[in-house]
């Protein structure tokens, strides 16, 4: 049996430090730790990487502090529309969903698409019909709406600032299990002030995530419009596969790929088949946590904490 490792993220963003006071930072760290434990316990018991990434992401989807599932950002019409993807590094199968308004755990629907559907990606009403056919219950749309996100939305529409809105977060996980399998999952409510029907990178394979047992598992966060165009997750894969970069170096280069033309926030978590951990961002906030077999868990909200930890 090999070692097991789980890395998760709760979003990378450049923000005024005053928007995350110490009490909020503490709550975020607790939420990250809880999600890490939910996934890591599965790996520790000999469970598979896919189950671990799904459990970790579900925990953050259920936690209103994170922008995924409940607590997702409102679109300009005041609705929460979510999306997610999951990929199995063993089989190279994946499932993705977008435009969801009634699904409690988008990551679990993405997994059902991967395992029970002849397609790899379902959207909106079709995705919700498929959820019903698989016995997943639908939620009232109000379940997803938190007061905090409602206030942010009201500010945006009152100030007619939608075009300049830049708040965003996402959650994601990558895992290596004892059997040598890698997997990734990513899930988001998208970006503040988004148009109805906007699809981000979190459900796009190669943008918001990628997994291949032989090379790496990657989940990304940041400005989806540029991450999907730069193919950030696939870039990590390609740098490792074809240029033989270490996972740390691959993540470091991918976080900058085409940054001159595609400017915006980017964050990456990545794991290689040996269980080496990479966490990179070009933002001052990178909410993340990881646990490696036999070591203490590590949790961070600020990039500074990461730099201290990895130096």
**Positions marked active-site:** 170
We find the least distance from the C-beta atom of residue 10 to ligand ASP, in angstroms, to be 10
Contact range with ligand ASP by CB under 6 A, out of 118-126, 188-196, 235-243, 255-263: 188-196
Cα 154 versus chain centre, distance: 26
We find the least distance from the C-beta atom of residue 22 to ligand ASP, in angstroms, to be 22
Considering only 64, 71, 222, 273, the residue that binds ligand ASP (CB under 6 A) is 222
Considering only 82, 187, 221, 291, the residue that binds ligand ASP (CB under 6 A) is 221
Cα–Cα separations (whole angstroms), residue 236 to 9, 62, 187, 248: 17, 29, 19, 9
> Is there a contact between 113 and 95 (Cβ–Cβ < 8 Å)?
yes
Considering only 54, 81, 88, 169, the residue that binds ligand ASP (CB under 6 A) is 169
187 binds ligand ASP, rule: CB under 6 A: no
Considering only 82, 108, 128, 170, the residue that binds ligand ASP (CB under 6 A) is 170
Considering only 224, 231, 264, 273, the residue that binds ligand ASP (CB under 6 A) is 224
Segments in 45-98 forming alpha helices (H): 49-62
Cα 134 versus chain centre, distance: 24
SS3 of residue 194 by DSSP: strand
We find the least distance from the C-beta atom of residue 274 to ligand ASP, in angstroms, to be 27
- Give the Cα separation of 190 and 179 in Å (integer): 33
User: Of 285, 8, 19, which is closest to residue 148 (Cα–Cα)?
Assistant: 19
User: Which CB sits closer to ligand ASP, 181 or 188?
Assistant: 188
We find the least distance from the C-beta atom of residue 180 to ligand ASP, in angstroms, to be 29
- Give the Cα separation of 233 and 255 in Å (integer): 9
Type and span of the H or E element at 169: none
Angle at 264 between CA 261 and CA 269, to 5 degrees: 110
User: Which CB sits closer to ligand ASP, 169 or 177?
Assistant: 169
264 binds ligand ASP, rule: CB under 6 A: no
SS3 of residue 4 by DSSP: coil
70 binds ligand ASP, rule: CB under 6 A: no
User: Which CB sits closer to ligand ASP, 108 or 202?
Assistant: 202
What number of other Cβ atoms are within 10 A of residue 171's Cβ? 33
User: Which CB sits closer to ligand ASP, 43 or 191?
Assistant: 191
231 binds ligand ASP, rule: CB under 6 A: no
SS3 of residue 189 by DSSP: coil
User: Of 270, 196, 186, which is closest to residue 228 (Cα–Cα)?
Assistant: 186
11 binds ligand ASP, rule: CB under 6 A: yes
User: Which CB sits closer to ligand ASP, 111 or 266?
Assistant: 266
User: Which CB sits closer to ligand ASP, 178 or 306?
Assistant: 306
What residue is closest to ligand ASP based on CB? 224
99 binds ligand ASP, rule: CB under 6 A: no
What number of other Cβ atoms are within 10 A of residue 249's Cβ? 16
User: Of 186, 191, 187, which is closest to residue 152 (Cα–Cα)?
Assistant: 191
Query: Can you give the binding site for ligand ASP, defined by CB under 6 A?
Result: 11, 168-170, 188, 190-191, 200-202, 221-224, 227
């Amino acid at each position: 049996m090999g070692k097991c490792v789980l890395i998760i993220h709760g979003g990378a963003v450049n923000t005024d430090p005053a928007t995350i006071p110490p009490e909020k930072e503490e709550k975020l760290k607790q939420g990250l730790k809880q999600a890490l434990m939910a996934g890591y316990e599965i790996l520790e018991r000999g469970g598979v990487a896919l189950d671990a990434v799904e459990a970790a992401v579900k925990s953050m989807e259920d936690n209103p502090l994170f922008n995924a599932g409940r607590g997702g950002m409102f679109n300009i019409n005041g609705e929460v529309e979510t999306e997610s993807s999951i990929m199995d590094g063993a089989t190279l199968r994946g499932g993705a969903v977008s435009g969801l308004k009634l699904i409690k755990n988008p990551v679990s629907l993405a997994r059902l698409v991967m395992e029970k559907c002849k397609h790899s990606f379902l959207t909106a009403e079709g995705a919700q019909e498929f959820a019903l056919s698989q016995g997943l219950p639908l939620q009232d749309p109000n379940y997803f709406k938190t007061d905090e996100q409602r206030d942010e939305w009201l500010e945006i529409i009152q100030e007619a600032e939608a075009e300049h809105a830049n708040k965003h977060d996402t959650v994601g996980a990558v895992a290596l299990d004892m059997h040598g399998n890698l997997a990734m999952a990513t899930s988001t409510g998208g970006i503040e002030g988004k148009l109805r029907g906007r699809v981000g990178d979190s459900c796009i394979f190669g943008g918001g995530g990628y997994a291949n047992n032989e090379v790496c598992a990657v989940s990304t966060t940041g400005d989806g419009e540029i991450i999907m165009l730069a193919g950030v997750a696939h870039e990590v894969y390609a740098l490792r596969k074809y240029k033989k970069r270490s996972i740390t170096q691959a993540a470091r280069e991918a976080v900058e790929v085409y940054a001159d033309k595609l400017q915006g926030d980017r964050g990456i978590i990545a794991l290689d088949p040996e269980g080496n951990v990479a966490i990179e961002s070009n933002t001052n906030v990178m909410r993340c946590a990881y646990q490696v077999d036999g070591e203490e868990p590590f949790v961070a909200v600020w990039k500074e904490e990461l730099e201290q930890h990895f130096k």
